[in-house]
Amino acid sequence: MPTDLPPLRDVIARHNLGARHSLGQHFLFDSNLCRRIAQAGGNLTDCNVIEIGPGPGGLTRAILESGAKSVTAIEKDSRCIAALNELADHFPGRLNIIEGDALEIDETQLVPAPRRIIANLPYNVATPLLINWLKRADAFDGLTLMFQKEVADRLVAKPRTKAYGRLSIITQWMCDIRFGFNIDRRAFTPPPKVTSAVVLLTPHAPAPADATFAAMETVTAAAFGQRRKMLRSSLKSLGLDPAAADIPPTARAEELTVPQFCALARAWAEKTKDED
Ligand code: SAM
- Give distance in angstroms: CA of 234 to centre of ligand 1: 37
pLDDT at 264 exceeding the cut of 80: yes
Residue 233 CA to ligand 1 centre (angstroms):
41
The average pLDDT across 201-219 equals: 95
Is the CB–ligand 1 distance for residue 102 below 6 Å?
Answer: yes
- pLDDT class of 273 with cuts at 50, 70, 90: confident
What mean pLDDT is predicted for residues 152-167? 98
State which of 25, 29, 189, 194 you would mutate to test the pocket of ligand 1, scoring each by most atoms of that ligand within 8 A of its C-beta: 25
- Using the mean position of ligand 1's atoms as its centre, give its distance from the Cα of residue 101 in Å: 10
Tell me what pLDDT residue 90 has.
96
pLDDT at 19: 94
Radius of gyration of the chain (CA): 21
Q: How many Å lie between the centroid of ligand 1 and the Cα of residue 74?
A: 8
Whose alpha carbon is nearest atom 12 of ligand 1?
Answer: 53
Give residue limits of the domains in the chain: 8-203, 213-275
CATH of the domain spanning 8-203, picked from 3.30.200.20, 1.10.10.60, 3.40.50.150, 1.10.760.10:
3.40.50.150
- Summarize the confidence of residues 54-77 as an average pLDDT: 98
pLDDT at 275 over 80: no
Contact 60, 86 (CB under 8 A): no
Q: Report CA(120)–ligand 1 centroid distance (Å).
A: 7
Asked if residue 2 has pLDDT above 80, the reply is no
Confidence of residue 84 (pLDDT cuts 50, 70, 90): very high
CB of residue 53 inside a 6 A radius of ligand 1: yes
- Residue 122: is its pLDDT beyond 90? yes
Distance 100 CA to ligand 1 centre (A): 11
Neighbours of 29 (CB within 10 A): 15
CATH number of 213-275: 1.10.8.100
- The mean of the pLDDT values for the chain is 96
- Say how many Å lie between the CA of residue 25 and the centre of ligand 1: 6
Instruction: Report percent pLDDT > 70 for the chain.
Output: 98
Which of 79, 120, 188 to probe ligand 1 with, by most ligand atoms within 8 A of CB?
A: 120
Nearest CA to ligand 1 atom 3: 27
- What's the pLDDT at 276? 63
Q: How would residue 120 be classed by pLDDT, with cut points 50, 70 and 90?
A: very high
Q: Which ligand 1 atom is the nearest neighbour of the CA of 123? A: 9
The rounded Å distance from CA 52 to ligand 1 centre is 6
Check residue 4 and give its pLDDT.
83
**Measured from the CA of 27, which atom of ligand 1 is nearest?**
5
**Ligand 1 in contact with 52 (CB < 6 A)?**
yes
What's residue 1's pLDDT?
59
